[in-house]
Amino acid sequence: MRDDALGRLVRSAGVAVGSDDATKVFAGSVNGRPPYPLDQWNPSHCGHVDIAIDREGKWWHEGAEIKRAEIVSLFAGLLRREADGHHYLVTPVEKVQVDVALHPLMVVDATPVLEAESSNQRLALILNSGGIFYLGDDTGLQPESEAAGAAYINLPQGLTALFTRAAWYRLVDMADENGLVESGGERYSLL
């Protein structure tokens, strides 16, 4: 019988969730759910699994695209980049290496949100995995030379998210004449 690494990952992740509030969207989480305590999980390395994330942020397993958004979202919440530069799916009981072509996640939209307690507006960056991050000093905006001038942001667990073309154009449309966008009272350059 063939070892089903993908099935094992789904099952062990489901056990790890254990949250009564799984439907609430959490800003600052790559999948919009309560973040897993990946920094506390140090399982043994179990090798490489045939999962790849291409340059457009699409997830593939054994050459077939993973089309179920729920699976992509689940796996995104289990993904981390380690000091060796490789990306791993991590559960409490195992860690498997996956291939990432450029950036593991994509920013698919950018939208201004007015803060309730002040008159500042923040830019909410929506990820292809269902997560939301606010543009700030934690995320930054770094240019990506391999993406025709678009930028990427930094995320927890050593992850990054590249702007899709549509999201990047939307952000460019929000910029002032100096190529700056404002978020949370700070200004960030798109140049």
- pLDDT higher than 90, residue 176: yes
Q: What percentage of the chain carries pLDDT values higher than 90?
A: 68
Query: Of 144, 51, 78, 63, whose CA–CA distance to 106 is shortest?
Result: 144
Reported residue count of the chain is 191
- pLDDT higher than 70, residue 168: yes
pTM of the model: 0.84
Q: What is the pLDDT of residue 119?
A: 74
Question: Distance between CA atoms of 122 and 99, rounded to whole angstroms?
Answer: 33
Fold that domain 105-189 belongs to in CATH: duf1285 protein fold (2.30.270)
**Per the structure block, which two tokens stand in for 65?**
């695209």
Beta bridge pairs of residue 99: 52
Give residue limits of the domains in the chain: 5-100, 105-189
Which whole number is the average pLDDT over 131-155? 92
- pLDDT higher than 50, residue 17: no
CB–CB of 51/61 below 8 Å? yes
Beta bridge pairs of residue 109: 126
Q: What is the pLDDT of residue 148?
A: 83
Beta bridge pairs of residue 52: 60, 99
Question: Distance between CA atoms of 97 and 62, rounded to whole angstroms?
Answer: 14
Q: Give the right CATH number for 5-100 from 3.30.43.10, 3.40.50.720, 3.10.540.10, 3.30.70.3170.
A: 3.10.540.10
- pLDDT higher than 60, residue 16: no
pLDDT band at 113 (very low <50, low <70, confident <90, very high): confident
**Who wins on pLDDT, 44 or 10?**
44
Question: Distance between CA atoms of 31 and 68, rounded to whole angstroms?
Answer: 14
8-state DSSP, 126: E
Which whole number is the average pLDDT over 4-30? 52
- pLDDT higher than 70, residue 171: yes
Q: What is the pLDDT of residue 5?
A: 53
Asked which of 71-85, 137-151, 154-168 is least confident by mean pLDDT, the reply is: 137-151
